[in-house]
Chains A and B, each alone.
With several copies, the nearest count.
Chain A
Amino acid sequence: MRNITLSQAVNEALAEEMRRDETVFIIGEDVAEAGTPFKVLSGLVEEFGTDRVVDTPIAEPGFMGLAVGAAMTGTRPVVDLMFGDFIYLIMDQLCNQAAKTHYMSGGKLNVPLVVRTNLGATRRSAAQHSQSLHALVAHIPGLKVALPSSAYEAKGLMKTAIRDDNPVVIFEDKLMYNDKAPVPEEEYLIPFGQANVLREGSDITLIGTSSMVQVCQQAAELLASEGVSAEVIDPRTIVPLDEETLLKSAKKTSRVIVVDEGHQSFGITGEIASRINEKAFYHLDAPVLRMGAMDVPVPFSPALEDITVPTPEGVAASARKLMSGEMIHAA
């Protein structure tokens, strides 16, 4: 299988879906000739024209609202939100309008749109360009939330998102745009709500999202060299969440760490940990541990920024603690 970058994978997904369905269009800032600052969309405007790859003014609430109305009337917009940090600007249109329209209309109106945006720190972009804000969106009923962890997922989840009749928000990891992974030439879709078990193990379960899947994989390697067998799971979508796969693993290993790049407090790790605690409590030998990003605005200085995000070493260290029963004393 060929290897392509996450960037190419997203580009292919969009191109394929735009060829398949002419109601699909892309809207956002500098998406056309510039192909976005990350160059993810390069070439699409050449194939699909400026009617379907639409450069907007710097008006996130405006083009998000426009997309909601477009989606309600027969198109499938893919909203390009340049940085995940700008999600605050579109919250009203996304959460008061897109998320609720189907429900408030008693099922009469649909809002089939995708917001593609990103997450992830350590790019030295400081507090307003480094946030991982998927927890905010996951809290709002009516929105689906996908967190691709590689080029393979990025393509398959994007295609599914575009065909979904509900609003979907996809957060890509901006540090992963140039990372390559095997991606089939043939068309494929990844269904929502199906977690991926990347590595089987028997001693401990590491649940990682997006950028943190790699971190968990590397932590598992470290642990393996010490004789600890870690299972690594990527939920791929957090709404819907594949509880079954997570619970099965938790019951098998009896120890779980949930790793995510959003701020830890009031973030998604609490939800995932709680569901496991609630439904696999009597199988657990230790509390489900959570590792999110530090509860601080993301600092610019490299000396500070790097320590705000979970690392393989940090995850492995926590795993060792869980294994050793050290938590018992803490608790």
Chain B
Amino acid sequence: MSPAKKTSNTEDYLRMYRQMVRIRTFEDNANQLYLSAKMPGLTHMYSGEEAVAVGICEALEVTDKITSTHRGHGHCVAKGAAFKEMFCELLGKEEGYCRGKGGSMHIADQSNGNLGANAIVGGSMGIATGSAFTAKLLGRDDVTVCFFGDGATAQGLMYEVMNMAALWKLPVIYACENNGYSEYTATDEIAAGSIPARAEAFGIEAHSVNGQDVLAVNQLTQDLVARARKGEGPFFMELMTYRYHGHHVGDINREYYRRKDEERDWKDNKDPITLFGAYLTKEGIATKENLAEMQAAIEADAAAAVEYALAAKYPDTSEVDMHVFTDVKHALA
């Protein structure tokens, strides 16, 4: 764990802890909804990677943008979303952030600068770069962070947009969440050479950081965001992390591609919440009891939101052809 900046950071630290616990709790509930067959479709759990989303998003302003992935609940919570609208979305309800039209793979609190989760691996890399282009063209000072996985580094689109971002010095940060796997395949089987070196070859400054250390992630991001705001971007970050669950909630028997003891090691020894909790108590920023209370409150929140969402109503069937075009109320009318 990196050293504390100053005690005036107490609030920031507690908020980061809180946000990590909120993500974990959200995912536990989502998994439960799946297991009890109350959630339509499948979903990809962010559990284990919380320090990445939180460390990064806590370094951003509301006006800064992010693009997210199929594994997007963590980014959504970290960028400021509320449980109620998230669970409603997960269940396809009208009060969801996307009125139930997006679901888990497109969940986003757009008003907080989340430009959307994306079900096309690498699909949001252009979007993030374009968002940074807007900032530059219109003279705004916001920065965009593009989240994507190690698997997404295989998509050619990434190199196309990194080239343009580098040529035009766009305020975008490419954040590669390297959790060691893409679906059922280990990263070293699908990524030749070095991931950060690929960014460097385009003249982009690249960093590798321990993605389980929320303070390290946050500190690096703060630096890069500040520099990107000054026109020194783009940047590339590789965040070494791990997903606790299978690729998606249905990926239960996974020993053919990933050993159980490896999973245990990460959970026991590298859990971002446990590590940061220990740090907070050691530094006297919070007591164990404080943290337990916080967690209990979050769990209660989540339970209430789940209950609300389960009872909430589905969109009216007349919504089916709304929002195809902005200017046509019902596209098929």
Residue numbers of A with Cβ under 8 A of B are 23, 25, 29-30, 33-34, 37, 51-52, 55-59, 61-75, 77, 85-86, 89, 92-93, 96-97, 101-110, 123-129, 141-142, 144, 164-166, 294-297, 299-304, 307-308
The interface residues of chain A lying within 8 Å CB-to-CB of B311 are none
CB distance from A181 to the nearest CB of B (A): 25
Q: With A57-B190, A58-B152, A59-B155 given, name 14 new contacts (CB 8 A).
A: A23-B137, A33-B184, A57-B163, A67-B126, A69-B124, A92-B120, A92-B123, A93-B126, A96-B123, A105-B106, A108-B97, A164-B327, A294-B321, A301-B103
Closest to B102 in A: A104
Closest to A103 in B: B323
B320 & A66 in contact (Cβ 8 Å cutoff): no
Binding-face segment, B44-52, B108-116, B228-236, B285-293: B108-116
B320 & A105 in contact (Cβ 8 Å cutoff): no
The docked-state distance in angstroms from the alpha carbon of A308 to that of B133 is 36
Out of B41, B123, B157, B326, name the residue touching A123 (CB < 8 Å): B41
Report if B81 contacts A (CB, 8 A): no
CB distance from B165 to the nearest CB of A (A): 9
A106 & B102 in contact (Cβ 8 Å cutoff): yes
Binary per-residue interface labels of chain B (90-107) against chain A in the complex, 1 for a CB within 8 Å, 0 otherwise: 001100111111111110
Out of B118, B138, B182, B324, name the residue touching A58 (CB < 8 Å): B182
The interface residues of chain B lying within 8 Å CB-to-CB of A68 are 126-127, 130
List residues of B (148-191) whose CB comes within 8 Å of A's CBs: 151-152, 154-157, 160-161, 163-164, 167, 182-185, 189-191
B190 & A73 in contact (Cβ 8 Å cutoff): no
CB distance from B151 to the nearest CB of A (A): 5
The interface residues of chain B lying within 8 Å CB-to-CB of A166 are 325-327
CB distance from B173 to the nearest CB of A (A): 14
Report if B122 contacts A (CB, 8 A): yes
A126 & B110 in contact (Cβ 8 Å cutoff): no
A128 & B105 in contact (Cβ 8 Å cutoff): yes
B163 & A59 in contact (Cβ 8 Å cutoff): yes
CB distance from A266 to the nearest CB of B (A): 14
Name 11 interchain pairs, CB-CB below 8 A, sorted by A. A37-B183, A62-B154, A62-B160, A66-B161, A69-B124, A86-B120, A92-B123, A97-B123, A102-B323, A106-B97, A141-B324
The interface residues of chain A lying within 8 Å CB-to-CB of B116 are 101, 104-105, 109
Report if B31 contacts A (CB, 8 A): no
The interface residues of chain A lying within 8 Å CB-to-CB of B133 are 66, 69-70, 75
Given A103-B101, A107-B323, A124-B103, does the pair A302, B155 have CB atoms closer than 8 Å?
no
Residue numbers of B with Cβ under 8 A of A are 40-42, 65, 67, 92-93, 96-106, 108, 110-111, 115-116, 118-135, 137-138, 144, 151-152, 154-157, 160-161, 163-164, 167, 182-185, 189-191, 256-257, 314-315, 317, 319-327, 331-332
Given A61-B160, A69-B130, does the pair A302, B190 have CB atoms closer than 8 Å?
no
The interface residues of chain B lying within 8 Å CB-to-CB of A74 are 134, 138
The docked-state distance in angstroms from the alpha carbon of A299 to that of B321 is 9
The interface residues of chain A lying within 8 Å CB-to-CB of B111 are 108
B103 & A300 in contact (Cβ 8 Å cutoff): yes
Of A55, A59, A63, the most chain B CB neighbours within 10 A belong to: A59
The interface residues of chain B lying within 8 Å CB-to-CB of A297 are 101, 324
B105 & A72 in contact (Cβ 8 Å cutoff): no
The interface residues of chain A lying within 8 Å CB-to-CB of B185 are 29-30, 34, 55
Out of A66, A144, A300, name the residue touching B130 (CB < 8 Å): A66
Out of A62, A129, A304, name the residue touching B126 (CB < 8 Å): A62
The interface residues of chain A lying within 8 Å CB-to-CB of B102 are 104-106, 126-127, 300
The docked-state distance in angstroms from the alpha carbon of A78 to that of B96 is 32
CB distance from B96 to the nearest CB of A (A): 7
Closest to A142 in B: B324
The interface residues of chain B lying within 8 Å CB-to-CB of A294 are 320-321, 332
Given A66-B161, A74-B134, A126-B106, does the pair A302, B325 have CB atoms closer than 8 Å?
no
